[in-house]
Amino acid sequence: MQAVLMERTGGPEVLTVREVPDPEPGEDRVLVDVAAAGVNFRDVYEREGRPPYGGELPRVAGAEGAGTVVGTGERVAWLDVPGSYAARVAASRDELVPVPDGVPLDVAAAVMLQGCTAQYLAADSHPVAEGDWVVVHSAAGGVGLLLTQLVRDRGGHVLATVSTEEKAELARDAGADDVVVGYDGFPARVRELSGGEGAAAVYDGVGRTTFAAGLTALRPTGRMILYGAASGQPEPLQLQQLALHGSLYVQRPTLGTYTRTPRMLRERAGAVLGMVAAGRLDVRIGGRYPLAEARRAHEDLEGRRTTGKLLLAV
């Protein structure tokens, strides 16, 4: 079968397409024909060898996708099956979730990792309540577009930040109440929109560029939720700052924590896929690439030249 192999760590150039043997399913695993694989920043970290995503080399890249179980035709999706940039994967049943009728497999592949991330952010990290104002950074990205919709579905209001006017339109289409192009001034704007109170939560996948300002955007007892660090890790936080800004909370969550058991994975993914099937969650696929062009997909992702979700079509 064809697969995208990493023989060393480094830049996008280390991703090469090779013919490799089919994976062995084993007693407790099934073989799945991959329809599409998701391209994510965690794949970039894996390619670069950053903990905890490193591993023995050579290896097949990727972890997210959707396809059909060989022999049964069951439609399934997953978010953490190593070696997903390939024509086939072998996976435990505990790692797979059923895809509802009416949800195309490419859409299921596009929504698993980022949709489950957005779902726990809006439902658990800060359970958005009716009328809450929140800040969603990089709101035209894969998580941002989904998170904006989920906040609005729960009755909250979104101040989105984006890098361009084009991306601002995408954020508005997803339901953002207001948009700041760039990151300057968002604390003052969310205070203005919220009647001077500030944001109930700041959902921050950017990190160093936005974190310190985000603390000043929060209402008393508000929550700074740093779920990624695309611009680098923030400067070390002096805990006294949390008191000075109004008894704030800070969380650094991971999707693995919120899907740490098969039941948690099925329930969370089922909630996301159910919303897609019901037409309550729109999944924007920003680019489809052949498996052989995985390198270009990584270059476009890292170069911030994309919106929504990138897929490798297998």
What's the 3-state SS for 135-187? EECCCCEHHHHHHHHHHHHCCCEEEEEECCHHHHHHHHHCCCCEEEECCCCHH
Q: In this structure, which amino acid lies at residue 250?
A: V
Which fold, 2-113+258-313? Quinone Oxidoreductase; Chain A, domain 1 (3.90.180)
Query: What are the CA-CA distances from residue 228 to residues 15, 40, 200, 204, 205 (Å)?
Result: 23, 12, 19, 7, 4
| 198-256 pLDDT tens trace | 999 999 999 999 999 999 999 999 999 999 988 889 999 999 999 999 999 999 999 99
Q: Which of these, 146, 189, 138, lies nearest to 167 by C-alpha position?
A: 138
Domain map of the chain by residue range? 2-113+258-313, 126-252
Query: What are the CA-CA distances from residue 197 to residues 37, 132, 249, 258, 314 (Å)?
Result: 42, 10, 16, 30, 49
Residue 85 DSSP symbol: S
Superfamily of domain 126-252: NAD(P)-binding Rossmann-like Domain (3.40.50.720)
Please count the helices (runs of H) and the strands (runs of E) in the chain: 10, 16
This prediction's pTM? 0.94
**CA–CA separation, 56 and 62 (whole Å):** 14
| 1-22 pLDDT tens trace | 999 999 999 999 999 999 999 9
Strand-pairing partners, residue 6, are 15, 59
Token reading at 64: 């997210």
Residue 304 has pLDDT above 80, yes or no: no
Percent of the chain surpassing pLDDT 70: 100
